[in-house]
């Protein structure tokens, strides 16, 4: 008999031992199906010496039901999973879930049944059916996926199947992916690019851990340069993972990749259908998927033969996961590269202070590209002082900016207005009684969205129809929109330039790769004159005819006490500026601000990035803030306010006294209420040398709390 230790994919359970018949060898990393009470649960066999499990006598062990016919998770990945669970204080099972996204990917079936519209109109048409058919369009997927896409119940889809308006199709889930060709369309690199590429290519050949920071202004050719490293990995027959921050970014990236390598890479993100996910997962595990481009969740996949990891736009905040396992994909990527013994390239025009510091102390090797590729110059950045040059009442665009937009329109060049705020207005209030529309579940205002005509909470997704009258004082027509969102700026643009062709680019309008592709196509064809967008447009895109960028409110990110506020604003405005003048025509950037003298703004205008970063870094060092000190947040939440505050106080009172560590709070968390849960926070601040995780594990491990309370630790929190 063999005793096998298994981590089940259920965070509430510790490792359990099972029995395998004596002629079955269950290697560590094997994916198995195990009985648990009356249920069957997927799990992964692990080295017994690395995990404690409850003592069970051999005679009482239950037998494993099945060992899946997929390659076992390799040792470096097993170590990564342990490291992640340990570092971020998360259950092993929760980390494993990111490796094994669905049990259906594991069975050997070669096809999956999906559904799509036939074009037939059903005899009985209801509004729901009409909506379903309209929204499904050309889409194909499982019943559940179609129902979600169409925003109807599964029953409506099943009804349409019965009525013949939707039909079943068999989709193969093991068609091979095309093989990228490293020599399909190589660029001719400039000298500095060539030298940078050579270092990466050497590192890929060396098959050793080597972390790099690839630092160069927007448009300097960072992508072209790391593509050379990708080409080398392909030549070596090894896999590459490229992490990108946004799904909307993948589409232009895929096209560009195809131009360089002859076919698209394998994409991995939350928008995949189950059949696509299953096909990709199996190809990744077998090693057939040579280049995988993905969101942060692609980091934990079981690559068979990894040769290189690239994190593009490595400064992006969306690499920090804020739910579940609260990991930072940039940092885990470097750890994975270390365990897999491969190079990691972090590419950014505006690296995070943490990353710069690692380069500064020589842990990461910094590779710099000096300027933009070809004849393109960095754009001129100028400030518009909103006090000296104010927009008319009820408007947000200053006369100087409007004049420049007019010039641009006349020249037939494109303009981008940047405002990092979705919707029409961030706050709606009653002029009569002052009532403000707040989310019932969160400490957040309801944001008016006129395009879809409703108010929405950006934190929990709660929506309500736009009210006619004030719910408080019942006054009609008393509601006013306060402040601008992108939709409101779009209205202003339409009033100023009725003939201009505009597009709003936010996660509300660009919610799929296909939508992103459509937008890119229209921009490239010159069908758009003015884009109004949120941070979604600040990165990745390359539109040579875009020559003017207007930052509508540069002060927006600077309010609030967040230590990273200045850094983040600087990065965001640099990135959006980077969209201007990427081709032969020069670009210009106008930054609207009430505080032209603020350090961020003056650094942007003088182009003194180094000075700005140096001052920020010193401020962090003086306050022993990251990367010079460490932080961890402990979030205590409950649906019951008293329970949350009392538990938080109790946990706070039992804080251990440790040298080089201080515990602050409890205090209401930055979002004091989120999705119906009241949240309190304790903030742990410690010296770098201290193993904070160990202290916290010990501290919380001794405590109990009521069932309704959740305690989550956010190690290296992003905002604080
Ligand atoms: P970054 O990633 O630094 O923003 P990109 O790699 O996107 O820069 O390069 C900006 C633009 O310049 C892209 O259109 C790219 O194709 C082009 N480019 C950069 N280097 C070269 C080169 N050596 N040959 C041809 N085109 C290049
Ligand atoms: Zn909410």
- Tell me the best of 223, 259, 367 to mutate to test the pocket of ligand 1, counting ligand atoms within 8 Å of each CB and taking the most: 223
**Same domain assignment for residues 499 and 610:** yes
Between the CA of 532 and the centroid of ligand 2 the distance, in Å, is: 25
User: Distance (Å, rounded) from C-alpha 429 to C-alpha 432?
Assistant: 9
State the greatest distance between any 2 C-alpha atoms of the chain, in Å, as a whole number.
84
In a domain, 346, yes or no: yes
Ligand in nearest proximity to the CA of 676: 2
Residues 394 and 362 in one domain: no
DSSP state of 438: B
Is the CB of 212 inside a 6 Å radius of any atom of ligand 1? no
Distance from Cα 89 to the centre of ligand 2, integer Å: 27
Q: Which of 59, 45, 49 is nearest to 8 (CA)?
A: 45
Domain at 95, CATH number: 3.40.1440.60
> CA 43 from chain center: how many Å?
27
Residue 15 within a domain: yes
Residues 520 and 313: their CA atoms lie apart, in Å, by: 19
What integer pLDDT is reported at residue 561 of this predicted model? Answer: 61
224 lines ligand 1 (CB under 6 A): yes
Is residue 438 situated within a structural domain? Answer: no
439 closest CA partner among 428, 431, 430, 450:
428
The DSSP output letter for 73 is: P
CATH number where 265 lies: 3.40.50.300
Residues 501 and 364 in one domain: no
Ligand 1 pocket, 189 CB below 6 A? yes
Tokens 């996910």 sit on residue: 277
Q: Distances in Å between the alpha carbon of 93 and those of 3, 13, 44?
A: 20, 8, 9
Cα(187) to centroid(ligand 1), Å: 9
Instruction: Answer yes or no: is 87 within a domain.
Output: yes
Minimum-distance ligand to the CA of 457?
A: 2
Decide whether any atom of ligand 1 lies within 6 Å of the 58 Cβ: no
User: In terms of Cα–Cα distance, which of 137, 143, 171 is closest to 155?
Assistant: 143
Q: Nearest Cα to 215, choosing from 320, 311, 122?
A: 311
Ligand nearest to the CA of 439: 2
**Helices 486-496 and 399-411 sit at what angle, rounded to 10 degrees?**
70
Is 432 part of any domain?
no
d(CA 593, CA 445): 24
Please count the residues of the chain: 720
Burial 29-52 (b: 16+ CB within 10 A, else e): bbbbbbeeeeeebbbbbbeeeeee
With respect to residue 404, please indicate whether it lies within any of the assigned structural domains: yes
| DSSP 8-state class, residue 478 | -
Q: Residue whose CA is closest, atom 17 of ligand 1?
A: 221
Question: CATH number for the domain including 692?
Answer: 3.30.70.600
Among 369, 391, 415, residue at a domain's last position: 369
Task: Check whether residue 534 and residue 407 sit in a common domain.
Answer: yes
Across 594-706, the runs of DSSP E, i.e. the strands, are: 629-638, 661-674, 677-687
Closest by CA to 714, choosing from 658, 622, 637, is 637
C-alpha pair distances (Å), 719 with each of 107, 333, 633: 41, 21, 10
651 C-alpha vs ligand 2 centroid, how far in Å?
27
Contact residues for 657 (Cβ-Cβ < 8 A; gap 6+): none
Distance 447 CA to ligand 2 centre (A): 10
Here the tokens at position 497 are 């330039």
Phi, psi of 681 (to 5 degrees): -135, 140
Site to probe by mutation for ligand 1, drawn from 224, 259, 575 as the one with most ligand atoms within 8 Å of Cβ, is 224
Interatomic CA distance for residues 464 and 418, integer angstroms = 27
Cα–Cα–Cα angle for 268, 271, 272, rounded to 5 degrees: 60
Nearest atom (ligand 1) to Cα of 217: 3
Alpha carbons within 13 A on the beta-carbon side of 492:
25
Q: For the chain, how many structural domains are there in total?
A: 5
Q: Which two tokens stand for residue 545?
A: 């005819």
* Minimum CA distance residue for ligand 1 atom 5: 221
Query: Structural domain of residue 51, as residue ranges?
Result: 3-99
Residue 287 lies in a domain: yes
Does the CA dihedral 691-696-701-707 come out positive or negative? negative
Q: Does 249 share its domain with 339?
A: yes
> 568 C-alpha vs ligand 1 centroid, how far in Å?
25
**Cβ 261 under 6 angstroms from ligand 1:** no
Contact call for residues 144 and 91 (beta carbons, < 8 A): no
Q: Cα(220) to centroid of ligand 1, in Å? A: 6
- The verdict on residue 374 lying in a domain is no
Question: Cis omega before residue 151 (within 30°)?
Answer: no
Characterize 458-471 residue by residue with b for buried, 16 or more Cβ atoms within 10 angstroms of its Cβ, and e for exposed. Answer: bebebeeebeeebe
DSSP state of 176: P
| Among candidate residues 99, 123, 155, the one where a domain is terminated | 99
- Whether 263 has a binding-site annotation, put simply, is no
Which numbered atom of ligand 1 lies nearest the CA of 216? 3
Q: How does DSSP classify residue 468? A: S
Q: Whose CA is nearest to atom 18 of ligand 1?
A: 221
Alpha-carbon gap, residue 101 to 701, rounded angstroms: 29
Check if 253 has its Cβ closer than 6 Å to any atom of ligand 1: no
Question: CB within 8 A of 587, min separation 6: which ones?
Answer: 377, 379, 380, 546, 547, 548, 549, 577, 579, 580, 581
d(CA 337, CA 310): 10
Statement to judge: residues 131 and 213 lie in one domain: no
User: What string of DSSP letters covers 351-365?
Assistant: --HHHHHHHHTTSSE
What's the burial of 301, exposed, middle or buried (CB within 10 Å: 0-12/13-18/19+)? buried
Residue 357: which of 331, 395, 326, 383 has the closest Cα?
A: 331
Q: For atom 4 of ligand 1, which residue has the closest CA?
A: 219
Q: Identify which ligand lies nearest to the alpha carbon of 373.
A: 1
Residue 525: helix, strand or coil by DSSP?
A: coil
Same domain, 564 and 660: no
Residues 80 and 121 in one domain: no
Is the same domain home to 515 and 385?
Answer: yes
140 plus 227 within the same structural domain: no
Q: Whose CA is nearest to atom 9 of ligand 1?
A: 221
Q: The domain that contains 121 carries what CATH number?
A: 1.10.10
Q: In angstroms, what is the span from residue 223 Cα to ligand 1's centroid?
A: 7
Does 493 lie in the same domain as 611? yes
Q: Do 74 and 7 sit in the same domain of this protein?
A: yes
User: Is 470 marked as binding a ligand?
Assistant: yes
Q: Which of 190, 219, 314 to mutate to test the pocket of ligand 1 (most atoms within 8 A of CB)?
A: 219
Q: Is the CB of 365 under 6 A from ligand 1?
A: no
pLDDT (0 to 100) of residue 1: 65
Query: Which two structure tokens, joined as six digits, stand for 128?
Result: 């729901």
Name the closest-CA residue to atom 26, ligand 1: 187
pLDDT number for residue 261: 97
Over the chain (720 residues), the average pLDDT of each successive run of 10 is 88 87 88 92 94 81 91 96 96 93 72 87 88 86 87 90 90 88 95 96 97 93 97 97 81 89 93 87 94 94 97 92 92 98 96 95 95 83 95 95 97 95 91 90 90 88 89 89 93 96 90 81 95 84 90 83 83 88 87 92 89 91 92 94 94 93 90 91 94 94 92 86
CA-CA distance, 364 to 358, in Å (whole number)?
Answer: 6
Backbone CA torsion sign across 210, 215, 218, 222: negative
ipTM of the complex: 0.97
Q: Is 482 annotated as a binding residue?
A: no
Which atom of ligand 1 lies at the shortest distance from residue 225's CA? 6
pLDDT of residue 57: 80
Task: Point out the ligand nearest to the CA of residue 446.
Answer: 2
- Provide the pLDDT for residue 270: 82
What is this structure's pTM?
A: 0.89
Task: For residue 673, report the distance from its CA to the centre of ligand 2, in Å.
Answer: 8
Decide if 427 contacts 455 (C-beta within 8 A): no
Residue 567 and residue 51: Cα distance in Å, rounded? 41
Q: What are the structure tokens assigned to 395, written together? A: 């408007």
Residue 386 CA, ligand 2 centroid: distance in Å: 32
Which of 99, 130, 157 delimits the end of a domain? 99
């Amino acid at each position: 008999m063999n005793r096998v230790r298994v981590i089940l994919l259920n965070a509430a359970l510790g490792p359990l031992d099972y029995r395998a018949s004596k002629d079955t060898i269950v290697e560590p990393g094997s994916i198995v199906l195990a009985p648990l009470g009356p249920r069957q649960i997927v799990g992964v066999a692990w080295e017994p010496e690395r995990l404690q499990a409850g003592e069970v006598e051999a005679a009482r062990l239950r037998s494993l039901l099945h060992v899946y016919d997929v390659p076992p998770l390799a040792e470096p990945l097993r170590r990564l999973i342990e490291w992640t669970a340990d570092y971020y204080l998360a259950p092993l099972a929760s980390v494993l879930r990111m490796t094994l996204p669905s049990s259906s990917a594991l069975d050997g079936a070669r096809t999956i049944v999906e559904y799509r519209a036939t074009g037939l109109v059903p005899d009985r048409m209801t509004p729901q059916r009409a909506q379903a058919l309209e929204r499904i369009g050309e889409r194909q997927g499982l019943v559940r996926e179609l129902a979600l896409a169409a925003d109807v119940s599964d029953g409506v889809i099943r009804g349409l199947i019965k009525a013949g308006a939707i039909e079943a199709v068999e989709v193969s889930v093991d068609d091979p992916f095309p093989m990228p060709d490293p020599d399909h369309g190589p660029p001719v690199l400039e000298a500095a690019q060539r030298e940078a590429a050579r270092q990466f290519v050497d590192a890929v050949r060396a098959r050793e851990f080597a972390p790099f920071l690839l630092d160069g202004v927007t448009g300097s050719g960072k992508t072209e340069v790391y593509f050379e490293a990708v080409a080398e990995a392909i030549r070596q027959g090894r896999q590459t993972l490229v992490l990108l921050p946004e799904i909307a970014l993948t589409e232009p990236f895929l096209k560009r990749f195809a131009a360089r390598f002859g076919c698209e890479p394998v994409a991995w993100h939350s928008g995949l259908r189950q059949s696509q996910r299953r096909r990709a997962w199996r190809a990744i595990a077998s090693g057939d998927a040579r280049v995988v481009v993905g969101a942060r969740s692609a980091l934990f996949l079981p690559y068979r033969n990894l040769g290189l990891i690239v994190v593009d736009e490595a400064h992006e905040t969306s690499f920090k996961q804020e739910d579940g396992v609260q990991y930072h994909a940039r940092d885990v990527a470097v750890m994975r590269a270390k365990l897999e013994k491969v190079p990691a390239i972090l590419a950014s025009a505006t690296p995070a202070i943490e990353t710069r510091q690692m380069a500064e102390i020589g842990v990461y090797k910094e590779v710099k590209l000096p300027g933009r590729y070809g004849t393109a110059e960095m754009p001129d950045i100028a400030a518009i002082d909103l006090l000296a040059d104010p927009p008319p009442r009820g408007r947000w665009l200053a006369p100087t900016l409007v004049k420049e937009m007019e010039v641009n329109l006349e020249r037939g060049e494109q303009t981008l207005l940047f405002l990092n705020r979705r919707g029409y207005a961030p706050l709606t209030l009653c002029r009569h009684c002052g009532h403000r529309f707040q989310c019932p579940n969160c400490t957040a205002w309801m944001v008016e969205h006129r395009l879809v005509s409703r108010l929405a909470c950006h934190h929990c997704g709660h929506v309500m129809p736009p009210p006619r009258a004030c719910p408080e004082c019942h006054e009609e027509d008393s509601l006013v929109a306060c402040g601008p969102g992108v939709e409101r700026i779009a209205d202003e643009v339409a009033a100023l330039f009725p003939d201009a062709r505009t597009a709003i680019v936010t996660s509300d309008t660009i919610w799929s790769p296909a939508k992103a592709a459509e937008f890119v196509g229209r921009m490239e064809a010159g069908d758009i004159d003015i884009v109004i967008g949120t941070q979604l447009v600040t990165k990745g895109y390359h539109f040579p005819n875009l020559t003017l960028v207007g930052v509508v409110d540069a002060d927006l990110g600077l309010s609030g006490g967040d230590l990273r506020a200045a850094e983040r604003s600087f990065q965001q405005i640099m990135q959006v500026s980077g969209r201007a003048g990427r081709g032969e025509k020069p670009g210009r950037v106008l930054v609207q601000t009430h505080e032209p003298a603020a350090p961020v703004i003056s650094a942007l205008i003088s182009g003194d990035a180094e000075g700005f970063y140096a001052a920020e870094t010193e401020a962090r060092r003086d306050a022993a803030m990251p990367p010079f000190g460490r932080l961890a947040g402990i979030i205590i939440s409950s649906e019951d306010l008293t329970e949350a505050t009392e538990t938080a106080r109790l946990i706070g009172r039992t804080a251990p006294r440790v040298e080089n560590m201080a515990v602050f709070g409890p205090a209401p968390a930055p979002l004091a209420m989120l999705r119906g849960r009241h949240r309190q926070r304790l903030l742990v601040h410690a010296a770098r040398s201290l193993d904070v995780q160990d202290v916290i594990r010990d501290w919380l491990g001794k405590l109990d709390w009521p069932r309704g309370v959740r305690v989550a630790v956010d190690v290296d929190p992003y905002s604080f």
